[in-house]
A and B are shown apart, each in its own frame.
Chain A
């Protein structure tokens, strides 16, 4: 019986998110924001070019006319832009980085299409309503660096304990409702990935987890394909991050299931 007592030793260590706020969720630096204007951004890009460098190693930053746009789906959070131009780019706290549209990962001076997002959200909600509160995830690695798997595995540790939300990992695609894909989408994995998707009963929510899966990130784009998994699958949820942290993954999963409640704002008691 020693293990029983050992399990009780440190009390409850589990996060109460999403029903309550969680400091680690709120404080975690999971993305970069655009806080400055095009003039300063252009200056930073020019000075990087003079030094024979690129401001962004994955070309996530674009300056067109007076607009600065940063694609979080390409960003690997290296911080080069924040260091070079702190007046234009800033770290953003908060693990709520998952989005339902690939285009919504682009931040800065971009038009947001609220109407189409509402439609998309409603359609997804309709599709997943039968999944209710017992959901099974099949994970497939399509060419990750190995860190994404750690973060997904962390979801079953006692801190995140995804089982408390009725969500489980399954080995069989026949039992799975969510296809959670990591990695750049290497040529070698495309067939296995497609066959896994085919074996899953509809409705299926497909999640691209991590910048590698969203766009190929820094490692993609070579001779092994690898510009993300979006060309091989119809992705419903895009989670950026290199790798995406467990809280970002959890937010993305609940977003895909239309189960993300409105949280009390920071001022309210939690």
Chain B
């Protein structure tokens, strides 16, 4: 669930870099990277996931004679570092030398202001409201750029996809999420953990429970507390309801893209019922306010038997619709072979959640590094893999829906007649660093939390959406513009956490 400390800081940046490369070559997953601190020196933290936890590898980079903080980029060796180093450059002002493309990611191009430097006490000057056209990379006869966004066509989160195309094929596209950059890292700072978890819930609003869990796990390690059994099970119930709602949302968007009106209506109805069930259990449709460091705020508002009956009925109704949609040729034709991700790339990149699983790469924290009730309930098994495309990702999600229903029913059973029904314990975190993780519907959510006297000094909130969206560039082999909606929906990501 969380790893208490990090290995001792390595003395030089070269050693640090070599150690990361050595560990990644040895099978650990590059899971994230960020900077902490100021103008003259910045602490770089790389997060590496192994079977026994997620470890931080820190090192301090000092400014050179020219006043610039720099180090040799990891992206040249580790593909997954590509976006992390761009974000690091934007937010902390550290230059990864020889980075293949140091284009701004989270801040507008040419904003001309000092980086916000999370972890530094200095107050950031406001970003100018700035608009510059994005880059154009492909040239040739008849090539033009279509900007999808930032205001999208339909009810979507704001993001810009710059699609460069001769008309139908998509040889290249650029993703520009900076429009809704909210400065999340800075919002965490100086808060106590009770308010910090509220910010965590809003990093990625459609995965509030998973973010609150990952944050709370880090706090619980720093406070050396164990969450009571009832709270562990309640956490599983809400996390799995969140997964059901998200996977139904993906199915709804895919059906909508294919123009299947009845299927769209059915899946959106199922989703509404899941959200209503969540609100009956806790008062909030997104399960917000349920997870607090040390446990849960209160137990379930309804009897476990009612929950069991509701979820059983829902799963039966849903199963019939899933069978129907997976037998609708006009639907499957649009998904088969669409948005194909190379399995080798997925494994090298450490693709998270359903996207990785569809390619046979499965590092599910619920199974590999179990936390909360997942330690007591049967672990989710990796789904069978048949194709690395949009239909493969949908099949993985349907398998996960079944698993979620099983976990909710199992948790409800275990909750019935549990002797120790305390909702939580008091946490009193002091000073220190810990990582925490949880499996969101999009994949692993990872937090790197540094506290000083119980207050947040630096909180790195890494959603699976950030990690996975970088792969969006690589799934356009032979796909055309009209496949866009299918590929985007099959990724099932939220852009709030990408823009941070």
Alpha-carbon distance A242/B199, docked complex (angstroms): 12
Which of chain B's residues have a CB closer than 8 A to the CB of A159?
A: 269, 272
Chain B, residues 106-146, CB within 8 Å of chain A (1/0): the string is 00100000001000000111111111000000000000000
Q: State in angstroms the CA–CA spacing of A2 and B326 once bound together.
A: 13
* Whole-angstrom CA separation of A11 from B154 in the bound complex: 28
| Contact A192–B262 (Cβ < 8 Å) | no
Instruction: Give the CA-CA distance A101 to B275 in the complex, in Å.
Output: 30
Q: Which residue of B lies closest to A199 (CB)?
A: B151
Contacts of B266 in A (CB 8 A): 6-7
Q: How far is the CA of A186 from the CA of B317 in the complex (A)?
A: 41
- Quick check: which of A36-44, A65-73, A220-228, A256-264 contacts chain B, the rest being far away? A220-228
Query: Which of the residues A53, A57, A157, A224 comes within 8 Å of B272, measured between beta carbons?
Result: A157
B59 to chain A, nearest CB (A): 27
Residue pair B179, A186 in contact (C-beta under 8 Å)? yes
Is B289 on the interface with A (CB-CB < 8 A)? Answer: yes
Chain A contacts for B184, CB-based, 8 A:
219
Q: How far is the CB of A258 from chain B (nearest CB, A)?
A: 24
A157 CA to B275 CA in the complex, in Å? Answer: 13
Residue of A nearest to B180 (CB): A143
Say yes or no: B157 contacts A188, CB within 8 Å: no
Asked whether any CB of chain B lies closer than 8 Å to the CB of A139, the reply is yes
In the bound complex, residues from chain B placing their C-beta under 8 Å from that of A147 are: 205-206, 208, 286
Query: Do the beta carbons of B192 and A157 come within 8 Å of each other?
Result: no
Chain B hits for A150, CB < 8 A: 205-206, 249
- Segment of B50-58, B277-285, B387-395 engaged in the interface with chain A: B277-285
Contact at A191–B155, with CB atoms within 8 Å?
no
What residues on B are CB-neighbors of A103 within 8 Å?
none
Contact B324–A3 (Cβ < 8 Å): yes
Given A144-B157, A225-B129, answer yes or no on A76-B198 (Cβ-Cβ < 8 Å). yes
At the interface, yes or no: B178 with Cβ under 8 Å from chain A? yes
- In the complex formed, the residue of A with least CB distance to B260 is A3
**In the assembled complex, B263 has its CB within 8 A of some CB on chain A:** yes
**How far in angstroms is the closest Cβ of chain A from B27?**
33
A142 interfacial by beta-carbon distance below 8 Å: yes
Q: A141-B156, A144-B205, A218-B202 are in contact. Are A223 and B192 (CB under 8 A)?
A: no
Q: Quick check: B126 and A192 within 8 Å, CB to CB?
A: no
- Interface contact B205-A146, CB-CB below 8 Å: yes
Residue among B131, B324, B495 with the most chain A CB within 10 A?
Answer: B131
Option from A217, A223, A242 in Cβ contact (under 8 Å) with B127: A223
Minimum CB distance partner of A222 in chain B: B183
- Contact at B131–A191, with CB atoms within 8 Å? yes
Q: Is the CB of B198 within 8 A of A13?
A: no
A189 touching B154 by the CB < 8 A rule? no
Q: CA separation between A78 and B150, bound complex, in Å?
A: 30
A10–B269 CA distance with the chains assembled, in angstroms: 11
A146 touches B206 (CB 8 A): yes
CB under 8 Å from chain A, chain B span 252-274? 260, 262-263, 265-266, 268-269, 271-272
A183 to B150, CA, bound (A): 14
Q: Note all chain A residues with C-beta closer than 8 A to B297.
A: 79
- Say whether A7 contacts B284, CB under 8 Å: no
Whether B108 pairs with A188 at a CB distance below 8 angstroms is yes
Q: CA A139 – CA B151 in complex, angstroms?
A: 9
Q: Determine the distance from Cα of A28 to Cα of B278 in the docked complex, in whole angstroms.
A: 12
B186 contacts chain A at the CB level, 8 A cutoff: yes
Query: Which of chain B's residues has its CB closest to A138's CB?
Result: B151
B495 to chain A, nearest CB (A): 7
Q: Are A188 and B126 in contact (CB under 8 A)?
A: no
B155 to A186, Cβ gap below 8 A?
A: no
Chain A 43-76, CB-CB to B under 8 Å as 1, else 0, gives 0000000001110010000000000000000001
- A196 and B186 CA atoms in complex are apart in Å by 29
| Interface status of A190 (Cβ within 8 A of chain B) | yes
User: At the interface, yes or no: A89 with Cβ under 8 Å from chain B?
Assistant: no
Residues of A within 8 A of B198 (CB): 57, 76, 78, 218
Interface membership of A239, Cβ < 8 A: no
Q: Tell whether A145 pairs with B204 under 8 Å between CB atoms, given A157-B271, A159-B272, A192-B151.
A: yes
8 Å CB contact of B158 from A7, A169, A189:
A189
For the complex, give the distance between the alpha carbons of A269 and B318 in Å.
34
Cα A151 to Cα B288 in complex, Å, equals 14
A187 in contact with B130 given A6-B321, A171-B154 (CB within 8 Å): yes
A6 to B324, CA, bound (A): 9
| Cβ-based interface call for A266 (8 A) | no
Interface string of A1-39 (1 = CB under 8 A from B): 011101100100100000000001000110000000000
Instruction: Tell whether, in the assembled complex, residue A141 and residue B181 are in contact, meaning their CB atoms are under 8 Å apart.
Output: no
A154 within 8 A of B: yes
CB 8 Å contact bits of B149-182 with A (1 = contact, 0 = none): 0110111111000000000000000000011111
Check if A201 is an interface residue, CB within 8 A of chain B: no
Contact of A223 among B116, B157, B178, B203 (CB under 8 A): B116
* Cα distance, A146 to B199, chains bound together (Å): 14
- A4 and B262 contact, CB distance less than 8 A: yes
Choose one: B127, B155, B283, B324; the contact of A225 (CB below 8 Å). Answer: B127
Q: CA A79 – CA B496 in complex, angstroms?
A: 24
Q: How far is the CA of A3 from the CA of B206 in the complex (A)?
A: 29
Q: CA of A6 to CA of B318 in the docked complex: distance in angstroms?
A: 11
Asked whether A158 lies within 8 Å of B268 as measured between CB atoms, the reply is yes
With A159-B269, A159-B272, A223-B124 already in contact, the answer to whether A145 and B154 are too (CB < 8 A) is no
A42–B62 alpha-carbon span in the complex (Å): 48
For the complex, is A98 an interface residue (Cβ under 8 Å from B)?
A: no
Q: A146-B496, A187-B128 are in contact. Are A157 and B157 (CB under 8 A)?
A: no
CB-based closest 3 A-B pairs: A147-B205, A145-B205, A171-B153
